Structure 1
Amino acid sequence: MNLERADLLAHIDNGALQAIVDGRHGDPFSILGRHPVGQTNVVRAFVPGASGVEVIDAQDDSVIADMEKVFGGGLYAADIGGRRSYRLRIHWPDAVQETEDPYSFGPLLGELDLHLISQGTHYDLGRTLGAQSIDIDGVAGVRFAVWAPNARRVSVVGDFNSWDGRRHPMRLRGSSGIWEIFLPRLGPGERYKYEIVDRDGHTLPQKADPVARASEAAPSTASIVASNNPFRWTDDDWMRSHQSAREGKGAISVYEVHLESWLRIPEEGNRNLNWIELSQRLVPYVADLGFTHIELLPIMEHPFGGSWGYQPLGLFAPTGRYGTPEDFAYFIDRCHAAGIGVILDWVPAHFPTDVWGLARFDGTALYEHEDPREGFHKDWNTLIYNLGRNEVKGFLIASALEWLEHYHVDALRVDAVASMLYRDYSRNADEWIPNKYGGRENLESVEFFKHLNSIVHNRCPHAFTVAEESTAWPGVTKPPEEGGLGFDFKWNMGWMHDSLHYMQEDPVYRKYHHGMMTFSMVYAYSERFMLPLSHDEVVHGKGSIFGKMPGDNWQKHANLRAYYGFMWAHPGKKLLFMGSEIGQTTEWNHDASVVWDLLDNPQHAGVQRLIRDLNHIYVNEPALQFSDLHPQGFEWAVGDDAENSIFGMFRFSEDRSSCVLALSNMTPVPRQGYRVGVYNAGRWAEILNTDAGIYGGSNLGNSEVWTDEHPSHGKQQSISVTLPPLSTIYLRWRG
Structure 2
Amino acid sequence: MDSKVYKYMDWPEIEAVVYGEEATPRDLMAPRMTADGVLVQGFFPDADSVEVLVDKKTYKMEQQDEAGYFAAMLPMRKVPSYQYRITKGKEVCTVNDPYAFPVQITEDEEKAFCAGVYYHAYEKLGAHPTEIDGVAGTSFAVWAPNALRVSVVGDFNNWDGRCHMMHRMPMSGIYELFIPGVGDGAVYKYEMKLKGGAIQLKSDPYAACTELPPASASVVKDLRNYEWDDAAWMGAREKYKDRHQPVSIYETSLTVWKNAQELVDYVKELKYTHVELHPVMEYLDEDAGEYSTFAYYAPDRRFGMPEDFQQLVNALHKENIGVILDWTPSHFPRQEGGLELFDGTPLYENPDPSMAIHPMWGTLLFNFESPMVKDFLLANAFYWLEFYHADGLRLDDVDSMLYLDFGREYGQWRPNIYGTNENLEAVEFLKHLNSILQKNLSGTMTIAQEDGLWSELTGSVEDDNIGFSYKWNNNWAGDFLNYLSKDPIERQYVHDQLTLSMLYTYCEHFVLPLGSRQTGDQESFMAKLPGDEDQKMSQIRAAYSYMMLHPGCKMMAPDKEAPEELKKFVHDLNELYVSQPAMYQMDDDYEGFEWIQLMKYEENVLAFLRKTENPDETLMAVCNFAAVPYENYQLGVPFYGKYKEIFNSDRKEYGGQGVVNPRAKTCRQAECDEREYSVTFKIPALGVAVFSCTPGKKPEKLAVAAKKPETAKKTTRKVAMKKDSTKKAAAKKVAAKKTPAKKTTTAKKTTAKKNIKKDIAV
What CA distance in whole angstroms lies between the structure 1 residues aligned with 2:288 and 2:624?
39
Bigger Cα displacement from structure 2, 719-728 vs 41-50: 41-50
Q: Is contact 1:149-1:175 (8 Å) kept? A: no
State how 1:286-365 maps to structure 2 within 5 Å: 286-365=267-346
Q: Is contact 1:191-1:223 (8 Å) kept? A: yes
What CA distance in whole angstroms lies between the structure 2 residues aligned with 1:662 and 1:673?
16
What CA distance in whole angstroms lies between the structure 2 residues aligned with 1:543 and 1:373?
41
3-state SS of paired residue (2:375)? helix
- Which residue is equivalent to 1:269? none
What CA distance in whole angstroms lies between the structure 2 residues aligned with 1:328 and 1:404?
13
- Segments of structure 1 that go 5 or more residues without pairing to the other structure are 264-272, 580-593
Q: In the alignment, is residue 572 of structure 1 matched against residue 566 of structure 2?
A: no
Q: Return the letter of the residue paired with 2:66.
A: G
Q: Give the counterpart of 1:544 among 511, 524, 528.
A: 524
Q: Return the letter of the residue paired with 2:532.
A: D
What CA distance in whole angstroms lies between the structure 2 residues aligned with 1:313 and 1:455?
25
- Which residue is equivalent to 1:10? 8
- Which residue is equivalent to 1:587? none
Deviation readout 1:692-733 (Å, 9 max, x if unpaired): 111111111212332110111111001111111111111111
3-state SS of paired residue (1:546)? helix
Q: Give the counterpart of 2:203 among 178, 190, 208.
A: 208
Q: In the alignment, is residue 41 of structure 1 matched against residue 38 of structure 2?
A: yes
- Which residue is equivalent to 2:670? 710
Q: Return the letter of the residue paired with 2:14.
A: L
Q: Is contact 1:297-1:308 (8 Å) kept? A: no
- Identity of aligned pairs, percent? 37
3-state SS of paired residue (2:93)? strand
What CA distance in whole angstroms lies between the structure 2 residues aligned with 1:637 and 1:289?
31
Structure 1's 229 and 203: CA in aligned 2 closer, same or farther, altered over 3 A? same
Q: Is contact 2:33-2:79 (8 Å) kept? A: no
What CA distance in whole angstroms lies between the structure 2 residues aligned with 1:401 and 1:656?
42
- Which residue is equivalent to 2:226? 231
Structure 1's 177 and 674: CA in aligned 2 closer, same or farther, altered over 3 A? same
Structure 1's 208 and 566: CA in aligned 2 closer, same or farther, altered over 3 A? same
3-state SS of paired residue (1:216)? coil
What CA distance in whole angstroms lies between the structure 1 residues aligned with 2:273 and 2:304?
25
Q: Return the letter of the residue paired with 1:670.
A: P
- Deviation of the 1:90 alpha carbon: 1.7
- Which residue is equivalent to 2:50? 53
- Deviation of the 1:198 alpha carbon: 1.7
Structure 1's 538 and 207: CA in aligned 2 closer, same or farther, altered over 3 A? farther
Q: In the alignment, is residue 371 of structure 1 matched against residue 365 of structure 2?
A: no
Q: Give the counterpart of 1:284 among 242, 265, 278.
A: 265
- Deviation of the 1:333 alpha carbon: 0.8
Deviation readout 1:573-603 (Å, 9 max, x if unpaired): 1101241xxxxxxxxxxxxxx5x2xx5xxxx
- Deviation of the 1:546 alpha carbon: 2.3
What CA distance in whole angstroms lies between the structure 2 residues aligned with 1:636 and 1:448?
40
Q: In the alignment, is residue 187 of structure 1 matched against residue 180 of structure 2?
A: no
Q: In the alignment, is residue 464 of structure 1 matched against residue 441 of structure 2?
A: no
Structure 1's 651 and 34: CA in aligned 2 closer, same or farther, altered over 3 A? same
Q: In the alignment, is residue 154 of structure 1 matched against residue 134 of structure 2?
A: no
Q: Is contact 1:253-1:574 (8 Å) kept? A: yes
Deviation readout 1:543-562 (Å, 9 max, x if unpaired): 62222111111111111111
Higher helix share: 2
- Which residue is equivalent to 1:139? 135
Q: Return the letter of the residue paired with 1:42.
A: L
Q: How many residues align?
A: 692
**What is the Cα-based RMSD across aligned positions, in Å?**
1.8
Q: Return the letter of the residue paired with 2:336.
A: V
State how 1:503-652 maps to structure 2 within 5 Å: 503-538=484-519, 544-579=524-559, 596=561, 604-652=563-611
What CA distance in whole angstroms lies between the structure 1 residues aligned with 2:103 and 2:650?
71
Instruction: Name the TM-score, length of structure 2 as normaliser.
Output: 0.88
- Which residue is equivalent to 2:126? 130
Q: Is contact 1:537-1:544 (8 Å) kept? A: no
- Deviation of the 1:302 alpha carbon: 1.6
What CA distance in whole angstroms lies between the structure 2 residues aligned with 1:398 and 1:230?
21
Q: Return the letter of the residue paired with 1:32.
A: M
Q: Is contact 1:8-1:42 (8 Å) kept? A: no
- Which residue is equivalent to 2:29? 32
- Which residue is equivalent to 2:760? none
State how 1:667-706 maps to structure 2 within 5 Å: 667-703=626-662, 704-706=664-666
What CA distance in whole angstroms lies between the structure 1 residues aligned with 2:56 and 2:477?
72
Deviation readout 1:458-506 (Å, 9 max, x if unpaired): 1102311111111221111110011211111111011000000000111
Q: Return the letter of the residue paired with 1:639.
A: L
Q: Give the counterpart of 1:665 among 620, 624, 627.
A: 624
Q: Return the letter of the residue paired with 2:107.
A: E
Q: Is contact 1:156-1:192 (8 Å) kept? A: yes
- Which residue is equivalent to 2:704? none
Q: Give the counterpart of 2:106 among 97, 101, 110.
A: 110
3-state SS of paired residue (2:279)? coil
Q: In the alignment, is residue 22 of structure 1 matched against residue 19 of structure 2?
A: yes
Q: Is contact 2:522-2:558 (8 Å) kept? A: no
- Deviation of the 1:73 alpha carbon: 2.5
Q: Return the letter of the residue paired with 1:330.
A: Q
Structure exhibiting the larger radius of gyration computed from Cα positions: 2
3-state SS of paired residue (1:530)? strand
Deviation readout 1:64-99 (Å, 9 max, x if unpaired): x22233322222222322262221112244543222
Q: In the alignment, is residue 81 of structure 1 matched against residue 61 of structure 2?
A: no
3-state SS of paired residue (2:284)? coil
Q: Give the counterpart of 1:168 among 164, 167, 175.
A: 164
- Which residue is equivalent to 1:482? 463
- Deviation of the 1:34 alpha carbon: 2.6
Instruction: Name the TM-score, length of structure 1 as normaliser.
Output: 0.91
- Deviation of the 1:36 alpha carbon: 4.6
